[in-house]
Amino acid sequence: MLVTNLVNVRYLTGFSGTNALAVIGPHRRTFVTDFRYVEQSAEEVDPAFERRRAVRDLLQDLEALLPEGELRLGFEDAHVSVHTHAGLRERLSERITLVAVNGLVEGLRAVKDGEEIARIRAAAELADEAFERLLADGLVGRTERELALSLEVTMRELGAQRPSFDTIVAAGPHGALPHAHPREEAVQPGQLVVIDWGAELDGYCSDCTRTVATGELDEQAREVYALVLAAQLAGLEGVRAGMAAREVDNVPRSVIERGGHAEHFGHGLGHGVGLEVHEAPRLAQRSDDRLQAGNVVTVEPGVYLPGALGVRIEDLVAVTEHGCEILTSVPKELRTVD
């Protein structure tokens, strides 16, 4: 199998640079990069791999890395462009049949070992600390952009490589957009503020959302918050190995439905997190995934009322045989911050 997706290359070999591929077969493991990464790869790449340096582009000498005779070469069709595929076909002789392989490495990545979970836990702890520092400085009067930037800078100061995705800070009606971009608008008193952030540490990501109040809220806002919190807690109860992802999604969804907001929860319950912030498995109505011990997933129900407010509460959890371990430590009861 030819592995060209860099996240998958990293997972299999340990290499964190930006140009490499791996060829993996029953009797061979080969890693190819260019001259810029020769030293880095000598440090990072698993010694089980034979390391090669490409003279021109990485695929140039691919055929020479493959065994003799007729063979089938898997490629990652979800990641290989039409252009690259044509180039591959042109360079490889007729004896080689290209076979589309989808999700093979992603399936391995979905189940984390203890060391990976420890890294994700460390990323989550760092992100939690950054969030507490943000709240300690107050929210009211600062713009969404300023708050997002401050959170991102603090995460880097605490040792994160980078935020694991663009931080969301969305106050009041803006919170009704699940993927809101922070604006140059100051947070007002008496609003709900949705903050969704994560840190990347040692290559692994965290992901968390909290919704905080900036003063006295009206009844609707308090009710929606209580409903989403009840749904989120119910969602956590449903997480354990062997559960169908759609069943896990159903539990909090029915809580929100009973609260009269079914149409205001338009996204899935959660997603896997690891080297990427969105990976397998997917917790959603249309997911065919089944939870396994070692999955790390988010549980993030939300209610979004257009023109009024949004509430989302998201925890990161590691799936175990009988339940889950919550990796997020930030409290979830409604907090008021000036």
Q: Which residues bind Zn ion (CB under 5 A)?
A: 196, 207, 209, 298, 314
CB of residue 208 vs Zn ion: minimum separation in angstroms?
A: 6
Distance CA 254, CA 18 (A): 43
Strand partners, 2: 23, 75
CB of residue 273 vs Zn ion: minimum separation in angstroms?
A: 7
Q: Which residue has the tokens 């045989």?
A: 321
Identify which of residues 4 and 298 has a Cβ nearer to Zn ion in the complex: 298
Q: Which residue has the tokens 């609707």?
A: 220
Q: What does the chain come to in residues?
A: 338
CB of residue 14 vs Zn ion: minimum separation in angstroms?
A: 26
At position 95, the amino acid (one-letter code) is R
Identify which of residues 9 and 317 has a Cβ nearer to Zn ion in the complex: 317
At position 119, the amino acid (one-letter code) is R
Identify which of residues 4 and 206 has a Cβ nearer to Zn ion in the complex: 206
| 153-157 contacts at long range (C-beta below 8 A, 24 or more positions apart) | 154/130, 155/126, 155/127, 155/130, 155/197, 155/199
Given CA atoms 127, 133, 137, 138 in this order, what sign does their dihedral have? positive
Identify which of residues 92 and 231 has a Cβ nearer to Zn ion in the complex: 231
Distance CA 150, CA 221 (A): 26
CB of residue 292 vs Zn ion: minimum separation in angstroms?
A: 19
CB of residue 276 vs Zn ion: minimum separation in angstroms?
A: 11
